[in-house]
Structure 1
């Protein structure tokens, strides 16, 4: 049985063992918000059961970005409003489903029984939700881990749900990323944090201001390495070897950064 754990007043996190991905429940006076719906319909059913052990209130959903491990459980929440950035909504569909099945063959059977469900409510820069005497802010601070990252802020609990803009249990992933933009986007997150803030990363344990500050410094260092490497004509492998992150994730970052600098992405 999968359980949610309260990390702040009325804010609960489910850390799912598959891919160590987080889903978050925010309970208000009149409704509740589920942030990210996990990878498959089976996982989302576990999530919904855990949510219903906490609250019977009507539900709204937010996808922090388009990747399957954060959005493919949407179908289980049919009938609820599902919010996402407009670019994320565009990308939740058959192409992502096919890619996930190839990249995660151990989940192929569950994915075969999962139909991607597109979000119904689109955000360009900002939207505010009212859960009943509890405001929640949806903010797109810029590109980073993906083209359509949304941060979810719960001001009265001093909680920020960051999606994969912040990663705890592994290094940031750059396959669809914008590594030159990512530092500025995380800087915007940092501007909303206090010394007591709790930050729910896309994967791993809940963190705070010091962790996000350190990750921002590493992202900024990598962005400068990419700019310098491009100016010097350095091969991506040489730049990745200098990165503060492991080389296997840094090489895609450098390649993506070079494409950005040369206006190819």
Structure 2
């Protein structure tokens, strides 16, 4: 029997948990599904990562309304992937904030990524017809910006290239809470289809000096101690390092992509095969790493057609 494509067979609904990390600072986690953040300021709310559809934004807002009746003023996009951004219209926010590199990615490949992700993981795109189109930021920053939500200070920082070239983190210096986006995962497989393997470890190096007491990863439970944060960063780094090593070895030996994929699955499955979306991510991860180790610096655009062709070639 052919292996189901990506996550099309993943139909089990996950239990959502809305957790307060500090006074007025929350995260929504869902057993390895994409996480979102919520910050309540003096006169409004900030949502970090908008979810995949306006209908799913409505699910998040039902949690928000249990703690505040203030309007959503800001939506922050930590990166451009459809599952993180296409729900933005559901909040009625005054502004949508993203790095300039994320804006460039939306412009270059946002439409292709939208079609690709909806095809790969239909469960995450609840009521897909509610999406009005691509999400475009209304405020674009280069390196970092500070948003004052009344007396609450929020830093939005373009951390560097890693999961994508536009990855941003959100930092609350007083509360010492860091939202890492998909730069860090916890018990979940990093998706690397748009990654920069050479740069990602050094981008991770920029996260620990924030000195966070709590961190919300892109997937997985909230990290609520310095030790757990260190573990999450170390796990992410180890996965990237191990995958890069085996792919580099295969490329140096002149192996084709299919053989390198088989090598990677054999060597990484014992340590990481139990992580969420491992089977989904690995074909895309190895394909991108193979390109980078072969000298293709910038990720090629994934289209719905390329997804299917690659999957069939590696899993026949």
- What do residues 219-248 of structure 1 show as CA deviations (whole Å, max 9, x unaligned)? 234334444443343442365133454474
CA RMSD of aligned residues (A): 2.6
Cα offset, 1:202, TM superposition:
1.2
Q: Residue 55 of structure 2 contacts residue 126 of structure 2 at CA under 8 Å; is this kept in 1?
A: no
Q: 1:172 to 1:108 in 2, by over 3 A?
A: closer
Indicate which of 163, 174, 177 corresponds to 2:192.
Answer: 174
Q: 1:2 to 1:253 in 2, by over 3 A?
A: closer
Does 1:213 pair with 2:234?
Answer: yes
Q: What is the CA–CA distance in structure 1 between the aligned matches of 2:297 and 2:233, rounded to whole Å?
A: 29
Q: How many residue pairs get matched?
A: 262
Q: Secondary structure at the match of 1:53?
A: coil
Q: Residue 6 of structure 1 contacts residue 13 of structure 1 at CA under 8 Å; is this kept in 2?
A: yes
Matched residue, 2:201: 183
Give the alignment's TM-score, normalised by structure 2: 0.73
Which ranges of structure 2 fall in alignment gaps of 5 or more residues?
A: 1-14, 224-228, 299-316
Matched residue, 1:204: 220
Q: What is the CA–CA distance in structure 1 between the aligned matches of 2:64 and 2:126, rounded to whole Å?
A: 25
Indicate which of 134, 137, 142 corresponds to 2:160.
Answer: 142
The structure with higher relative contact order (CA 8 Å, sep 6+) is 2
Q: Residue 2 of structure 1 contacts residue 50 of structure 1 at CA under 8 Å; is this kept in 2?
A: no
Q: What is the CA–CA distance in structure 1 between the aligned matches of 2:125 and 2:74, rounded to whole Å?
A: 28
Q: Residue 153 of structure 1 contacts residue 160 of structure 1 at CA under 8 Å; is this kept in 2?
A: yes
Q: What is the CA–CA distance in structure 2 between the aligned matches of 1:230 and 1:3, rounded to whole Å?
A: 42
Q: 1:104 to 1:223 in 2, by over 3 A?
A: closer
Give the alignment's TM-score, normalised by structure 1: 0.86
- What do residues 134-166 of structure 1 show as CA deviations (whole Å, max 9, x unaligned)? 211111121111221111111111111011111
Tell me whether 69-78 or 236-245 shows the greater mean CA deviation.
236-245
Q: What is the CA–CA distance in structure 1 between the aligned matches of 2:60 and 2:122, rounded to whole Å?
A: 22
Matched residue, 1:242: 267
Matched residue, 1:253: 285
Matched residue, 2:45: 32
Cα offset, 1:206, TM superposition:
0.6
Cα offset, 1:81, TM superposition:
0.7
Q: 1:220 to 1:264 in 2, by over 3 A?
A: closer
Matched residue, 1:56: 69
Indicate which of 103, 111, 121 corresponds to 1:94.
Answer: 111
Matched residue, 1:223: 244
